[in-house]
């Protein structure tokens, strides 16, 4: 056997970084950031630790790329639901129902990856997830501001907190029918809040 033949046989396949992000995203979504260790990541990605660090910088760096992909995929397409001219109560009710359906769509990957990342024990993971959550939070508040400028902050906080609650409930096993019912009730509650004076 020649030296070139040995080189061909021993050369490792090229690592696909983008495919690795998809695989890691599914794992983080299923297990949570804290529960996934470097050894598990290198095992599922079929690479060694130095290669993981070379590709993504760190576990947190990989998680950041996963969050970026998750947001880019538009898992909760708020921009397609909260559209100009749509009645506010109707739009928010639709947002709640859509989120509830999405968060229990997969039996293995329940909840919102960003919302659950904000509840991680690891402070770096929490900060990363918080940064990815902020644009969506601002979008919701600014949408509400077009209709209810005096109550936009309070109502925006209500919507965002409600969505995070849906995610937590989905992760802890609340059934699809029950979560959808909760979403309907929250839509009704939001409509009722619109009738309350901000000075009340």
**Using 50, 70 and 90 to split pLDDT, how confident is the model at 9?**
very low
Domain map (residue ranges) of the chain = 3-71, 74-193
The answer, yes or no, to whether residue 68 has pLDDT greater than 70, is: yes
pTM for this one?
0.87
* Statement: 74-193 belongs to CATH 1.20.1630: no
Classify domain 3-71 by CATH number.
1.10.10.60
Taking residues 104-125, report their average pLDDT. Answer: 95
Return the pLDDT at 14. Answer: 64
What does the DSSP assignment read for the chain?
A: --HHHHHHHHPPPPP-HHHHHHHHHHHHHHH-TTT--HHHHHHHHT--HHHHHHHHSSHHHHHHHHHHHHHHTTSS-HHHHS-TTS-HHHHHHHHHHHHHHHHTS-SSS-S-HHHHHTT-SSHHHHHHHHHHHHHHHHHHHHHHHTT-TTTHHHHHHHHHHHHHHHHHHHHTT--HHHHHHHHHHHHHHHHHHTTS-TT-
pLDDT exceeding 70 applies to what percent of the chain? 90
């Amino acid at each position: 056997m020649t030296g070139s033949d040995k080189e061909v046989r021993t050369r490792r396949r090229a690592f696909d970084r983008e495919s690795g992000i998809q695989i890691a995203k599914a794992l983080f979504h299923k297990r949570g950031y804290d529960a996934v260790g470097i050894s598990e990541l290198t095992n599922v990605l079929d690479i060694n630790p130095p290669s993981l660090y070379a590709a993504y910088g760190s576990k947190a760096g990989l998680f950041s790329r996963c969050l970026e992909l998750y947001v880019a995929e538009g898992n909760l397409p708020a921009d397609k639901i909260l559209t100009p001219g749509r009645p506010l109560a109707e739009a928010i009710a639709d947002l709640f129902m859509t989120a509830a359906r999405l968060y229990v769509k997969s039996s293995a990957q329940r909840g919102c990856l960003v919302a659950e990342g904000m509840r991680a024990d690891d402070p770096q993971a929490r900060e990363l997830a918080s940064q990815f959550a902020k644009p969506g939070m601002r979008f919701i508040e600014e949408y509400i501001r077009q209709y209810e400028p005096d109550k936009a902050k309070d109502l925006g906080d209500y919507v965002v907190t409600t969505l995070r609650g849906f995610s937590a409930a989905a992760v802890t096993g609340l059934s699809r029918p029950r979560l959808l019912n909760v979403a309907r009730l929250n839509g009704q509650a939001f409509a009722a809040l619109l009738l309350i004076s901000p000075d009340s």
